[in-house]
Amino acid sequence: MKILVTGGLGFIGSNFIRHALKARPSWKIVNLDKQTYAGNPANLAGLKVETIKKDICDAKAVDRAMSGCELAVHFAAETHVDRSILDAGAFLKTNILGTQVLLDAALRHKVRRFLHVSTDEVYGSIAKGYSKEGDQLEPNSPYAASKAASDLLVRSYFVTHKAPVITTRASNNYGPYQYPEKALPLMITNFMDGKPFPQYGDGKQVRDWLHAVDHARAILLILEKGVLGEVYNIGGSYTCRNRELIERVLRLMGKNKNLITRVEDRKGHDRRYALDCSKLKRLGFKHAYDFKKGLVETIAWYRANEKWWRPLKVGGGYRSYYRKQYKGR
């Protein structure tokens, strides 16, 4: 079977491809990836994958990549909230227009199943309880708004065109191969270098943590057994405040709290996310990763793979972004 994956050189996409090749070794995977700053060819080194370096907004390239594919899993997106606050344009183009281009190609090529990967951030911040798939979408950042728009576009293609689509919404991911601008790898790699981690505001924001391998496992299950036209939440097995996470990482790494630097909070920063995953559990999903074990393994991975992350952090693009993002904070 031939399957198209978009954004397979990124963090979550590459973890999915690794899992899929183990679980379904007969699959031929075509990876369509623009190879932006977060798309790293090293993430798929040694794996038997055809990678096409093209933009998902390029209709002709998407058409060629989709040809002959029975399944499609759409990861490709601009994903970093902070970057969307600095400049929303790329998020609107890639996350909305790119999704439309892919949906049109999937219809032309009669793809059997098209899975659209989204985020819990589309629900917005909730004071208590858990977000369910049918809840109103209330995105609060340009990134979240672009993903909410793409979710609704996917839904419209199901209603209007009977497109064979499914949407997943996941919580905060962690694990190997995550670009080090994101909170956890930034935390770990900064602490390795004896540098402080910039904590936004009071650090009381609550997040639900999901290991990337569990995310990959859930996506494969939903891709094969999920009901067309439906949305499935994919949450982790652990929620905590950001400050608690920072302090836990410090303890595990044997570092002092003086490596925490409080900075001005992010604009429009959501206080709490939490997902109701009852629907996913009814498909038979069970987590393979306990957060405590997963966090220890993740720290160990970054310690053992400095050759992977070090070049990313010394690159001009990363350093320029870091200075711009935290200047005066």
pLDDT digits (tens, 9 = 90+) for 220-255: 999 999 999 999 999 997 899 999 999 999 999 999
306-328 average pLDDT score: 78
Query: Do residues 38 and 78 make contact, with C-beta atoms less than 8 angstroms apart?
Result: no
Do 148 and 71 share a structural domain?
yes
- Radius of gyration from C-alpha coordinates of the chain: 19
Per-residue model confidence (pLDDT) at position 19: 98
Query: What CATH number does residue 132 fall under?
Result: 3.40.50.720
For residue 225, give both structure tokens: 């057994």
Q: How far is CA 274 from the centre of its chain?
A: 16
Whether 272 is in a domain gets the answer: no
Whether 200 is in a domain gets the answer: yes
pLDDT at residue 110 is higher than 70: yes
Q: Which is catalytic among the residues 55, 121, 181, 270?
A: 121
Per-residue model confidence (pLDDT) at position 329: 45
pLDDT at residue 10 is higher than 70: yes
Per-residue model confidence (pLDDT) at position 328: 52
**135 vs 100, 159, 234, CA distance in Å?**
23, 18, 15
The predicted-structure confidence for 61-94, as pLDDT tens digits, reads as follows 999 999 999 999 999 999 889 999 999 999 999 9
Do 62 and 6 share a structural domain?
yes
Neighbouring C-beta atoms of residue 207, cutoff 10 Å: 21
Do 301 and 257 share a structural domain?
yes
Q: Which is catalytic among the residues 130, 143, 174, 238?
A: 143
- Domain residues for 310? 178-207+238-264+290-326
Is 121 assigned a catalytic role?
yes
Amino acid of residue 315: G
Using DSSP, state whether 65 is helix, strand or coil.
Answer: helix
The predicted-structure confidence for 25-56, as pLDDT tens digits, reads as follows 999 999 999 999 899 999 999 999 999 999 99
Do 146 and 15 share a structural domain?
yes
Query: Do residues 173 and 158 make contact, with C-beta atoms less than 8 angstroms apart?
Result: no
Query: Do residues 20 and 216 make contact, with C-beta atoms less than 8 angstroms apart?
Result: yes
Do 95 and 53 share a structural domain?
yes
Whether 277 is in a domain gets the answer: no
The whole-model pTM stands at: 0.96
Nearest to 318 by CA among 200, 174, 186, 181: 181
Neighbouring C-beta atoms of residue 57, cutoff 10 Å: 18
Residue 198 to residue 115: CA distance in whole angstroms? 35
Do 182 and 88 share a structural domain?
no
Do 306 and 225 share a structural domain?
no
For residue 221, give both structure tokens: 């299950």
Whether 148 is in a domain gets the answer: yes
Whether 270 is in a domain gets the answer: no
Neighbouring C-beta atoms of residue 279, cutoff 10 Å: 19
Per-residue model confidence (pLDDT) at position 237: 76
Q: Which is catalytic among the residues 33, 55, 78, 120?
A: 120
Whether 280 is in a domain gets the answer: no
200-217 average pLDDT score: 97
Is 120 assigned a catalytic role?
yes
Percent of the chain at pLDDT > 90 equals 93
Per-residue model confidence (pLDDT) at position 247: 98
Do 145 and 197 share a structural domain?
no
Do 246 and 100 share a structural domain?
no
Burial class (CB in 10 A: 0-12, 13-18, 19+), 229: middle
Is 224 assigned a catalytic role?
no
Using DSSP, state whether 225 is helix, strand or coil.
Answer: helix
The predicted-structure confidence for 262-313, as pLDDT tens digits, reads as follows 999 999 999 999 999 999 999 999 999 999 999 999 999 999 999 999 999 9
